[in-house]
Amino acid sequence: TSQGCSFLFCPPQTRYSVNGGRTSLRRPSCLIAALHTDTRLLLKPFRVADYRLAWAHLTLPNMLTLSENSLFGMGNPLLDICATVDKDFLDKYGLKVNDQILAEEKHVKMFEELVKKFKVEYHAGGSTQNSVKVAQWMIQKPYKVATFFGCIGTDKFGEILKKKAEEAHVDAHYYEQSEQPTGTCAACITGDNRSLVANLAAANCYKKEEHLDLEKNWKLVERANVYYIAGFFITVSPESILKVAKHASEKNKVFGLNLSAPFISQYFMKPLMEIMPYVDILFGNETEAATFAREQGFEDEDIKEIAKKVQALPKQNQKRQRIVVFTQGKEDTIVATATEVKAFPVIDIDQNAIVDTNGAGDAFVGGFLSQLVYERDLDQCIRAGHYSANVIIQRSGCTFPEKPSFH
């Protein structure tokens, strides 16, 4: 690696094993690490009492390799229609800044006006699909570490989504049907804020028994070690989420969920709380956290206290203590574990450099997941999340350069 250990030599009598991401060294007498310092190689013999600690310091995670389908995502695949609009447009259709809603009958004309009145860009989207796409970008190789399930139509937009997934090296297995067209999402941008209006269409037609339950598809689910689903999918197929969540819990794998939008807590609290006991990592932003707290009857409005209370909610798999991650835009990201609540500063950025905050939250999760699949520590996951979000907000839509510069 560019920093730290270049290689590690273990004497012949040394054996090591990696079990569940925890590494143990057995009966080593000495370790010799070759540390790269500028243009010199420094051979440094040393003895340690705690071999686990020594191995961790030698950056073992950077030496691990991933297999295909290690990360599984399931959600609503949508084609994003992005445009910079004015306040009058938001007011006309009753839209709020930094909000996400499902399209109603009154929004049908909005999609038409958006395309006619403003300059639009089309991007492959949908919250979960964005996140696994960013995770795969951060990982780079091997390709198809990320798997994605969702429903699309047998139409032009569906073909675009399949092509975009392939270009992103995501192993997408769509449930295709002809009753509804591929879903779309209007991303109405004002300054560094955005308002999302999703017309789920085909995405709303996902059927567990016709896709997730198929043996060939379930085998892909079983191959994963980390699972992530955005809360939006609760409106579509909560039974599919529960099946995946229970599998992760029973196999002691990691299951992540996102609160996604205030309306999920307001109108879908029952299925959300049926899933919550299986959630190992819960993501959300400050608005979603506040709404969840109100709906749960929490008396606290302080986001740290809310995170602490959410972390302490009943949990099925006691082998993994829940982690709660709440982002706050340019403010600190709040992380609650079983032992503490910490604030992580985001990366400073000139506000003039911000192009589009649409997808920033999805990108944060994607960066986080890219390190989680390597079983790297929480600080590293947060750092990667902040990096990914920082890259995405300086571009239009949830897009990124060819390669990340994250180290």
Active site (catalytic) residues: 362
- Helices first, then strands: H and E counts in the chain: 13, 19
Question: What's the alpha-carbon Rg for the chain, to the nearest Å?
Answer: 22
Give the residue among 14, 11, 25 at the shortest CA–CA distance from 57: 25
- Residue 199 sits at φ, ψ, to 5 deg, of -105, 95
- Distance (Å, rounded) from C-alpha 346 to C-alpha 332? 6
Contact 234, 74 (CB under 8 A): no
Closest by CA position to 184, among listed 119, 107, 260: 107
Distance between CA atoms of 338 and 127, rounded to whole angstroms? Answer: 28
Q: How deeply is 286 buried, as exposed, middle or buried, from its count of CB atoms within 10 A (0-12, 13-18, 19+)?
A: middle
**Residue 64 in 3-state DSSP?**
coil
* Measured distance CA(323)–CA(59) in Å, rounded: 23
Do residues 259 and 232 lie in contact, with contact meaning Cβ atoms separated by under 8 Å?
no
Q: How many CB atoms lie within 10 A of CB 301?
A: 11
